[in-house]
Amino acid sequence: MQAAKPAKIKFTADHWKAYGLLIPSLIIFILFMFWPFMYTIYLSFFDWNMVKPTKEFVGLQNYKEVLTDPTTYKVFGNTLLYIGLLLIINLIIPYILAFVLDIVLKRFNHLYKGAIFLPSVISLVVGSILFTWLLNPVSGPAAIILGWFGIDMPIWSKLDGWVIVVLSLITSWKVFGYNFIVLYASVNGISREVIEAARLDGVPLWKIFFHLVLPMSSATGIYVFIITIVQGLQYVFTPIKVITQGGPNYASSNAIYHAYHEAFVLYRTGHSAALSILTMAIFILLLILEFKFVERGIHYEN
Amino acid sequence: MKEIRFEHVYKSYGKTEVVTDLNLTIQKGERLILLGPSGCGKSTTLRMIAGLEDVSSGAIYMDQQKVNHLPSGKRNVAMVFQNYALYPHMNVIDNITYGLRVQKVPADEIKRRTEAALDMLQLKEYKDRLPKDLSGGQRQRVALARAVVKQGDYFLLDEPLSNLDAQLRVSARKELVKIHEMYKQTLVYVTHDQVEAMTVADRIALMYKGKLQMVDTPDNVYHRPANIFTATFIGSPPMNVFNVDVQPDSIRFTSQTLKLSPEWSQHIQQTGEKDLAFGIRPEHIDLSKIPTPNSLKGHIKFVENHGNHYGVYMDIEGNEWIAMSESKRWLPHETVYIKPRADKIHMFNQQTTDSIGYPKSLNNGE
Does A143 fall in a domain?
A: yes
| Packing angle of the helix pair B166-183, B136-150 (nearest 10 deg) | 10
Beta-bridge partner residues of B240: B280
The tens digit of pLDDT for each residue in B148-197 reads 899 889 999 999 888 888 888 888 888 889 889 988 999 999 999 999 99
CATH number of the domain encompassing residue A139: 1.10.3720.10
Q: Which residues of A touch B99 (CB under 8 A)?
A: 198, 200-203
Question: What stretches of B85-196 adopt beta strand conformation (E)?
Answer: 154-158, 186-191
Of B87, B132, B150, which is closest to A194 when you measure between CB atoms? Answer: B87
B94, B102, B133, best to mutate vs chain A, most A CBs in 10 Å: B102
Q: Which residues of A touch B79 (CB under 8 A)?
A: 196-197, 200
CB contact set of A120 (below 8 Å; sequence gap of 6+): A174, A175, A176, A177, A178, A181
Of B52, B88, B102, which is closest to A202 when you measure between CB atoms? Answer: B102
- B72 touching chain A per CB within 8 A: yes
- A14 touching chain B per CB within 8 A: no
- A199 touching chain B per CB within 8 A: yes
Average pLDDT score over residue span A205-219: 91
Q: CA A148 to CA A180: how far, in whole Å?
A: 33
User: Which of B358, B304, B315 lies closest to B338, judged by CA?
Assistant: B315
- Nearest-by-CA chain B residue for A219: B89
Q: Write down the pLDDT at residue A9.
A: 66
Q: Which comes out higher in pLDDT, residue B1 or A64?
A: A64
Please report, to the nearest 10 degrees, the dihedral formed by the alpha carbons of residues A278, A39, A232, A63 taken in order.
Answer: 20
Does A31 fall in a domain?
A: no
Does A52 fall in a domain?
A: no
Q: For B189-237, give the DSSP string.
A: EEES-HHHHHHH-SEEEEEETTEEEEEE-HHHHHHS-SBHHHHHHSSSS
Q: Which residues of B touch A199 (CB under 8 A)?
A: 52, 71-73
Beta-bridge partner residues of B348: B277, B355
CB contact set of A232 (below 8 Å; sequence gap of 6+): A82, A83, A86, A90, A171, A175
Does A233 fall in a domain?
A: yes
Q: H/E element holding A123?
A: none
Work out the mean pLDDT of chain A and round it to a whole number: 85
Q: CA A237 to CA A239: how far, in whole Å?
A: 6
B47, B70, B72, best to mutate vs chain A, most A CBs in 10 Å: B72
- A216 touching chain B per CB within 8 A: yes
- Give percent of chain B above pLDDT 90: 61
| Packing angle of the helix pair B92-102, A192-200 (nearest 10 deg) | 50
Write down the pTM of the prediction. 0.81
B238-362 belongs to CATH 2.40.50.140: yes
Q: Which residues of A touch B81 (CB under 8 A)?
A: 193, 196-197
Q: CA B121 to CA B172: how far, in whole Å?
A: 10
Is residue B366's pLDDT more than 70? no
Q: Which comes out higher in pLDDT, residue B362 or B24?
A: B24
- Domain carrying residue A248: 71-297
Q: For domain B4-228, which CATH number applies: 3.10.129.10, 3.40.640.10, 3.30.565.10, 3.40.50.300?
A: 3.40.50.300
Count CA within 13 A, CB hemisphere, residue B131: 23
Does A253 fall in a domain?
A: yes
Q: To the nearest whole angstrom, how far is the Cα of B139 from the nearest Cα of chain A?
A: 14
The tens digit of pLDDT for each residue in B317-326 reads 889 999 999 9
φ/ψ of B135, rounded to 5, equals: -80, 170
Q: Which residues of B touch A191 (CB under 8 A)?
A: 83, 85
Q: Which comes out higher in pLDDT, residue A290 or B94?
A: B94
Q: Write down the pLDDT at residue B364.
A: 57
**Domain extents in chain B:** 4-228, 238-362
Is the Cβ–Cβ distance between B164 and B82 less than 8 Å? no
Cα A264 to chain centroid, rounded: 22
Does A183 fall in a domain?
A: yes
Question: Total structural domains in chain A?
Answer: 1
Q: Write down the pLDDT at residue A1.
A: 43
